[in-house]
Amino acid sequence: MTVPTLIERDGPDQSAWWAVYTRHQHEKTVAEMLSTKGFEVFLPLHDSMRRWKDRQKVLSLPLFPCYVFVRGRLSRRLQVVTTPGIHMILSRGEQIAVVPEEEILAIRRAVNGNYRVEPHPFLKCGERVRVTRGSLEGVEGILVRKKNLFRLVLSVDMLAQSVGVEVAASDVEPVGVAGNKSAFSTIPAAGIAEIQKNFPTAVAVYDARLGSTR
């Protein structure tokens, strides 16, 4: 995904997506309060089964723990940082960092679609692919395989966090290649070796035969 842009402190007042860092387990409360203040808020959630000795329960948990996305203008920054439960707005130096619109849209389409979505280790290497059909058509991410499941990894670079969406390998194609389902053969051996070196157990690249991992 693209590198986050910045809002210049003395630049024009503009509306953009920010990421706010919250207290532990305060994401939903913060999102509610910001919505009450009139902000557009995005808090992506996922279902997680939790088991105890005597029972089990499905919980709705944040995809990005301790983070809430909010769309606002620079002039309303004080209203955000004074909200109880918020530590800070993510920034670089004295400039507020902006989450690119395409990253928000990709995550939103994933959680709104009929997919199993869950947090995933942040990845910076691997084969970048594009979904060719379904509600995620056009969304780009990194294709990985874990056991017998295939996931499209969507990343928010500014947070250095990712989420994994289950997809069919036949529904994606390498970025830059149109209509060529055998294009996985273009993955360089050096790239596969690099992935295995950095992620030796959790991640394997799905190879051109679409039936084994390297």
Residues 176-213: tens digit of each pLDDT? 655 443 333 333 334 434 433 443 333 333 332 233 33
The reported pTM is 0.66
Tokens coding 78: 């004080």
> 3-class DSSP state for residue 54?
coil
**Looking at beta carbons, which pairs linking 42-47 to residues 24 or more positions away fall under 8 Å?**
42/17, 42/68, 42/69, 42/70, 42/71, 42/104, 42/107, 42/108, 43/68, 43/69, 44/107, 44/108, 44/110, 44/111, 44/117, 44/163, 45/111, 46/111, 46/117, 46/118, 46/119, 46/163
Over residues 70-87, the mean pLDDT reads 93
Looking at residue 35, what is its pLDDT?
Answer: 96
Over residues 85-108, the mean pLDDT reads 93
pLDDT digits (tens, 9 = 90+) for 11-33: 333 589 999 999 999 999 999 99
- CA-CA distance, 132 to 95, in Å (whole number)? 37
Confidence of residue 64 (pLDDT cuts 50, 70, 90): very high
Residue 121's contacts (CB-CB under 8 Å, 6 or more residues apart) are 162, 199, 202, 203
Looking at residue 196, what is its pLDDT?
Answer: 39
pLDDT digits (tens, 9 = 90+) for 129-156: 889 888 999 999 988 887 777 888 998 9
- CA-CA distance, 153 to 204, in Å (whole number)? 13
Residue 108's contacts (CB-CB under 8 Å, 6 or more residues apart) are 42, 44
The percentage of residues in the chain with a pLDDT greater than 90, rounded to a whole number, is 42
Residue 49's contacts (CB-CB under 8 Å, 6 or more residues apart) are 56, 57, 58, 59
Average pLDDT, the chain: 77
pLDDT digits (tens, 9 = 90+) for 29-48: 999 999 999 999 999 999 98
| Distance spanning both ends of the chain, measured CA to CA | 25
Looking at residue 123, what is its pLDDT?
Answer: 65
Over residues 48-68, the mean pLDDT reads 90
Give me the residue spans of the domains in the chain.
5-99, 103-198
**Fold observed for domain 5-99:** Alpha-Beta Plaits (3.30.70)
Tokens coding 195: 């992935």
Tokens 């800070």 correspond to what residue? 88
Looking at residue 94, what is its pLDDT?
Answer: 84
Looking at residue 178, what is its pLDDT?
Answer: 54
